[in-house]
Chain A
Amino acid sequence: VRTLSEHESKQLLAAYDVPVAPERIVATPDEAVAEASDLGMPVVVKLTGAGIAHKTERGLVRLGLDSEAAVHAAATELLAAAVADDGAVGLLVAPMVRGMREFIAGVHTDPQFGACVMLGFGGVLAEAVADVVFRLVPIDGVDAFEMLDELRGQRLLEELRGEPPVDRAALANVLCGLSRCAASRADVVAIDVNPLIISDGRPIAVDALVELADTGAAPR
């Protein structure tokens, strides 16, 4: 199994209609500052590379950077934090996506049932809360809407503390996109979209990780 970098993962998912924030990959702190100014502050800067999986746990994500100085400093520190096992690394610069609600969506290959699509409430408490629902690939729009309906925390899909209700059709569309991706790419072993932040009611993939099988890499 090999993992795609965050950026490659998002590019793959974007091809299946999973909404992702615009982002740039650069090599130096100066380039990071230039892209941040272009995208508009505040931004997020992350260390990215095919060998890097658990960025949050390693402190490789810097959020809410709102000045050129802050971006430069964060970028410099991140490059310094890279270790040999990470392989080739770069800096990912993206606009800061804001939203109180975080979902997790993904694909899992079950030994009995094969590829499954998942939706759940996400963020750092995702595994503890475990409000998740699965379907077997492929799903259709009806299955996707029923997945939304089955989450226990329905209140979190409604209008919440000044944020509009979750656009159910847009969220269902993410699940259908993940299903299409898993169905058409035999080499996809797992997909994590975590978090999938609800910003202004609509889901945006803020981090993503795709695992591919080493062999059989040809699309179905």
Chain B
Amino acid sequence: MSARFAPDRFRALFDPRGVLVAGVSSHPAKFGFVALHNILSQGYEGEVYGTNLEGGDVLGVPMLRSPEDLPAGAVVDLVFICTPSGANPELLRACGERGIGAAFVTSAGYGEAGAKGLAAQEALAAQAESLGMLLAGPNGQGVVSTPSHLCAQIVAPYPPAGSIGIASQSGNFVSSFQNFACASGVGVSRAVSAGNAAALGVADFLEYYAEDPTTRVGLAYVEGLADGRDFFERVRGVAARQPLVLLKGGATAGGQRAAASHTGALASDDRIFDGMCRQAGVTRAETVEDAFEAAATFATQPIPRGPRVAVITTAGGWGVVTADAIARSELELAVLAPDLVEAIDARLPPRWSRNNPVDLAGGETRDTIPEVLELVAGHPDVDAVIYLGLGIQSNQARLMRDGRFFPEHGLDRIVSYHERQDERFARAAADVSTATGKPILTATELAVADPDNAGPRTVRETGRVCYPSADRAVRALEHLWRRARYGAHRA
């Protein structure tokens, strides 16, 4: 299947040499101000122009009356439209005349606003097509592209650079996913809100991401699909090239339909969508956290070669609960081979669990955790590792640092020792994962309870996710394993 739009055409949208903001306002609460502000404040290096009816200048940019007033030498590829819908046909015409290759339309009053709006939307799409202009929106929130430092949005945030490409039928989910990117440090390459998708739909963006060298993982939110069969064929093509995570809204709406056949009575939208995703090799997420973490895990961890997971924990209960989560998943708890047990025996007092979960039972000394991580992940019977207990020492260090005895009584030295240790452990998890080519996921509630704790902070510095619970790490790993298995079945 070839994409509906050639990848070259997206350059004007995602990597424009210049941007014209149409409908700039001098009022900082208006979208036409916010868009200009966001473009100017996040490091975009291309030319920036603005139009409005009042003239003057806004944020140091002189306002033009229309695109026709652009200086002769101006190089503008993208028009970011914040004008009322009625002004757009003339605006688009003038932009087309100036050779502007892409338009992002935030204006409302189109397909979401009844039959008249829908007619205007169809006319807008037809006009863009006749001008050879790529049209995103209308009624969308904007477009983000970190390779070009472009934050052309009427909302926050601007995420760190990375390899996740986001497309959404709902602009709010673009913000949500980008907020998770900011919090986790796992960054975004491109992000776009499809708005009413008059011309470009979510599948079009995903097909571009599959071709885009800076995007390694697709992440999308969808609700209704105009043509389910077409969507299936296209996401299958995308997923064959890169991991693709889908969050579906309205999964339970509709529910079972009245049907004469038993098969029909059992056919719900949700079950069919689920089967479609599995058939296409698409990762279907259940929640927004699940969706982001799945994408972030694809972006930052190797794909497991099998389902066998070893759990390494510094305390018993965490390991037991994690083993339960693995048992409920499509993953398996790895069986520790005798040679592995023997090798760990040599490094721990005999009270360690001698089983999976590998419970160190407080028997660890200075170098035990990096050594055990290496032994376990390096073993051929283990496909992936979940590591629990990071940050405990730094948590105590924080209490000491904030307490009234600090830095006397040797507290300054022990605090920095604890923090160094957690930094070492977090780096060991990343280094061993890279060396072995196996996923090692670190989970602790400190990732949210105290994100500045040396453990979670260092996990972020290694570019990986510190999962806020073992259950979420298991879930993310299960998504990776499903994709690996899908590929293996079809190799």
Contact = CB atoms under 8 A, between A and B. Distances in A.
Interface of A: 1, 53, 104-108, 110, 112-114, 116, 118, 120, 122, 126-127, 130, 132-136, 139, 142-143, 145-147, 150, 190-192, 194, 209, 211
A136 B276 contact: yes
Given A112-B228, A146-B489, A107 B263 contact: yes
A133 B276 CA distance: 10
B275 A108 contact: no
Contact of B262 (A104, A146, A147): A104
Given A108-B263, A116-B267, A133-B271, 12 more contacts: A104-B263, A112-B269, A113-B229, A118-B266, A127-B266, A130-B266, A136-B232, A136-B279, A145-B489, A146-B489, A191-B263, A194-B262
Nearest to A130: B266
Interface in B247-285: 259-267, 269, 271-272, 274-276, 278-279
Contact of B279 (A104, A105, A110, A143): A143
13 contacts: A104-B266, A107-B263, A108-B272, A110-B228, A112-B225, A112-B269, A118-B263, A118-B267, A132-B271, A134-B271, A134-B276, A135-B278, A190-B264
Given A133-B271, A136-B276, A114 B261 contact: no
Q: Which 7 A-B pairs have the closest CB atoms?
A: A106-B263, A112-B228, A134-B275, A113-B228, A190-B261, A108-B267, A192-B261
A113 B259 contact: no
B27 interface: no
A130 B260 CA distance: 16
Nearest to A1: B260
B225 to A, nearest CB: 6
B275 A114 contact: no
B276 A113 contact: yes
B194 to A, nearest CB: 18
Overall SS of chain B's interface: helix
A98 to B, nearest CB: 22
B404 interface: no
B489 A211 contact: no
A147 B279 CA distance: 9
A77 B272 CA distance: 42
Interface string B91-116: 00000000000000000000000000
B409 interface: no
Nearest to B486: A146
B436 to A, nearest CB: 28
B366 interface: no
A134 B259 CA distance: 16
Interface of B: 225, 227-229, 232, 259-267, 269, 271-272, 274-276, 278-279, 489-490
A108 B276 contact: no
A130 to B, nearest CB: 6
* Most chain A CB neighbours (cut-off 10 Å) among B229, B232, B272: B272
Contacts of A146: 278, 489
Contact of B266 (A112, A120, A143, A211): A120
Contacts of A192: 261-263
Contacts of B275: 116, 133-136, 147
B477 to A, nearest CB: 18
- State the main secondary structure of chain A at its contact with B: strand
Contacts of A122: 262
B115 to A, nearest CB: 22
A35 B299 CA distance: 66
A120 B260 CA distance: 17
Contacts of A116: 267, 272, 275
B261 A108 contact: yes
Nearest to A178: B263
Contacts of B259: 108, 190
B266 A132 contact: yes
B54 to A, nearest CB: 47
A110 B267 contact: yes
B265 A190 contact: no
A134 B260 contact: no
A9 to B, nearest CB: 11
Contacts of B229: 112-114, 136
B284 to A, nearest CB: 12
A145 B278 CA distance: 12
A145 B490 CA distance: 12
A1 to B, nearest CB: 8
Contacts of B261: 106, 108, 190-192, 209, 211
A114 B232 CA distance: 11
A113 B272 contact: yes
A16 to B, nearest CB: 16
Nearest to A192: B261
Contacts of B225: 112
Nearest to A150: B278
A107 B266 CA distance: 11
Nearest to B270: A134
B448 to A, nearest CB: 32
Nearest to B265: A127
A194 B261 CA distance: 10
Nearest to B257: A111
Contacts of B232: 113, 136
Nearest to B274: A134
B262 A134 contact: no
Contact of B272 (A105, A107, A126, A134): A134
B262 A211 contact: no
A57 to B, nearest CB: 12
A211 B227 CA distance: 24
B267 A134 contact: yes
Which residue among A53, A110, A120, A142 has the maximum number of chain B CB atoms within 10 Å of its CB? A110
A90 B260 CA distance: 23
A135 B281 CA distance: 12
Nearest to A195: B262
The residue among B271, B274, B489 with the most chain A CB atoms within 10 A of its own CB is B271
A132 B274 CA distance: 11
Nearest to B269: A112
B100 to A, nearest CB: 36
Given A113-B276, A116-B272, A126 B262 contact: yes
A59 to B, nearest CB: 18
A30 B49 CA distance: 93
A127 B262 contact: yes
